[in-house]
Amino acid sequence: MSTVTSKSPSDRIDDVLQHNLITAYFFKAPIIALNVVLTLLLSLPALWVMRPLFCKGKNDEPGNRRSLFSQIIRSTLVLVLGVIITQIQVFLTAFVVFAVVIGAYLALDPSVLPGFDLKTAFAMSVIQRVGSLGTVILTVALDQWFLESFADVDEDLPALRFVLQKRIAVTKALLRVGSTMILM
């Protein structure tokens, strides 16, 4: 006696994807685009925090692939939560940098202290430029602790793995160029 097992819609889509290359690219295009966007949009610390959602776990079997639906749900969750984490990180970094820049400005020119207005200080182009540059430099400098954390990206996400490897290579190059310029 044979038993017929019904497949879930997700399993049926995966079966179709294995047999038809054009259909595979059509169905996988959204997940590829989503993974490229989240890799380029999120900070490395945010990706590091969200890593359990897109990396293989210790209990995952090597041949066990996640369904396309599961990949889309996980990538969307990583994108939404990662954007929140990235915004918090950039806000805190900018807050610290601008506080240091305004403090340095007031220390260098104490004559402006009696009539100091924070709105006027933020309108000054020197404070804007130095603060923005400092925020970018500090954000890239903080990324260096997370560069080696993404070796176990899931094989089901080749676009994320490829773009993340390129982004890490660019970050390493920026850190090398920056450290070389500082040492000169």
Give the best-scoring range by mean pLDDT among 31-35, 81-85, 102-106, 142-146.
81-85
Question: In whole angstroms, how far apart are CA 76 and each of 14, 37, 46, 100, 162?
Answer: 19, 10, 14, 36, 18
Q: Looking at the predicted structure, is the pLDDT value of residue 19 above 80?
A: no
Whether 44 and 86 have beta carbons less than 8 Å apart is answered as: no
Q: Percent of the chain having pLDDT more than 90? A: 8
pTM of the predicted structure, to 2 decimals: 0.70
Q: Looking at the predicted structure, is the pLDDT value of residue 92 above 90?
A: yes
User: Which segment of 6-20, 45-59, 60-74, 89-103 scores lowest on mean pLDDT?
Assistant: 6-20
Report how far residue 93's alpha carbon sits from residue 102's, in angstroms, rounded to the nearest whole number. Answer: 14
DSSP letters along 62-129, please? TT-PPPHHHHHHHHHHHHHHHHHHHHHHHHHHHHHHHHHHHHHHHHH-GGGSTT--HHHHHHSHHHHH
DSSP letters along 12-46, please? HHHHHHHH-HHHHHHHHHHHHHHHHHHHHHS-HHH
Q: Looking at the predicted structure, is the pLDDT value of residue 91 above 70?
A: yes
Higher-pLDDT residue of 8 and 20 is 8
Q: Looking at the predicted structure, is the pLDDT value of residue 168 above 90?
A: no
Express each pLDDT in 30-54 by its tens digit: 777 887 888 888 888 888 888 777 7
How many residues are there in the chain?
Answer: 184
Mean pLDDT estimate for the chain: 77
pLDDT given for residue 87 in this prediction? 92
